[in-house]
Amino acid sequence: MQVFYNSKSIKAYLDTLIENKSIGFVPTMGALHHGHLSLVEQAKTENHLVVVSIFVNPTQFDKKEDLNKYPRTIDLDLKLLQTINCDMVFIPDVEEMYHQNILAEHFDFGGIEFEMEGKFRKGHFDGVGTIVKRFFEIIKPHKAYFGEKDFQQLQIVKKLVEINNIPVKIIGCEIFREEDGLAMSSRNIRLSEKQRKAAPFIYEILLEAKKKFGIISVDKIKQLVEEQFANNEYLKLEYFEIACEESLKPVNDCQEKRNYRAFIAVFANDVRLIDNIRLGN
């Protein structure tokens, strides 16, 4: 496994590769878990070579405290990537990606950036768009892999590629869950024992919403979810929405030909967890 710390060296290496070798790319912020590894495994089956980036991107955090507390486990991450024979890892520092100017570009994603996560994390998607675009420019992957846990991010990246005419295929990969249903996330390691025990409730609520969707009104489902969280000692609901998969606009009723998802964001003290589930079949 080759490890690169600056864009010049990874670009030079990628330039030496024989043409026609397809490159799969898995961008991450590290603190890798089995969800990330499954993206790498999928990328390996669909490409000749796989590049994983590890970079905690400052411009996508709206709170400095959240950025500072984001888990950093680089040695472990490298060991894990080695066990699955990842080809290349790119670990730039902030200076390498932003030079002296740690600012996000501004994008018009057609409105999807203002829904849900966009309402609660101002500027978050400009930060994601900025860094993902820079990685695409350096690595020039044929395919790039993103987990559906961050479903809104996945849609944003698809839009980013479309509006900037970037020749990369964006692949969305299913959510990887712990045995008790909690969606795998780098943030899970920050949960206390009690919070970790309480956290599978998030997925239980999503399953409940899925069961009720189409039977009772969306408003009623939202009210039930809010009630269920009202007395939870460990989990505080930030939002629960049912939205159309394409527009990400929250809906109050459903039309047959659209695909819908339920989206949720919850705080366990200062640890923010998100999840979602496809509704219908």
Where in the sequence numbering do the catalytic residues fall? 36
**Binding string, 153-192, against ligand PAF, x = CB under 6 A?**
x---------------------------------------
d(CA 203, CA 79): 30
Q: Strand pairing partners for 90?
A: 4, 53
CB of 277 to ligand PAF, least distance (A): 18
Contact call for residues 190 and 272 (beta carbons, < 8 A): no
Query: Nearer to ligand PAF by C-beta: 149 or 222?
Result: 149
Taking CB under 6 A as the rule, which mask of x and - marks residues 43-72 in contact with ligand PAF?
Answer: --------------x--x------------
Q: Does residue number 38 form part of the binding site for ligand PAF (CB under 6 A)? A: no
**Hey, is 12 helix, strand or coil?**
helix
Which range binds ligand PAF by CB under 6 A, 2-10, 27-35, 80-88, 258-266? 27-35
Other C-beta atoms lying within 10 Å of the C-beta of residue 167:
9
Phi first, then psi, for residue 209 (nearest 5°) are -65, -40
Binding residue for ligand PAF, selected from 37, 112, 128, 168, defined by CB under 6 A = 128
- 29 binds ligand PAF per the rule CB under 6 A: yes
User: Residue 217 corresponds to which amino acid?
Assistant: S
Residue 31, interface with ligand PAF (CB under 6 A)? Answer: no
Nearest residue to 150 via CA among 234, 11, 21, 28: 28
The residue type found at 204 is E
Give the SS3 label for residue 245: coil
| Closest separation in Å from C-beta 19 to ligand PAF | 27
Residues near ligand PAF (CB under 6 A) are 27-29, 57, 60, 128, 131-132, 150, 153
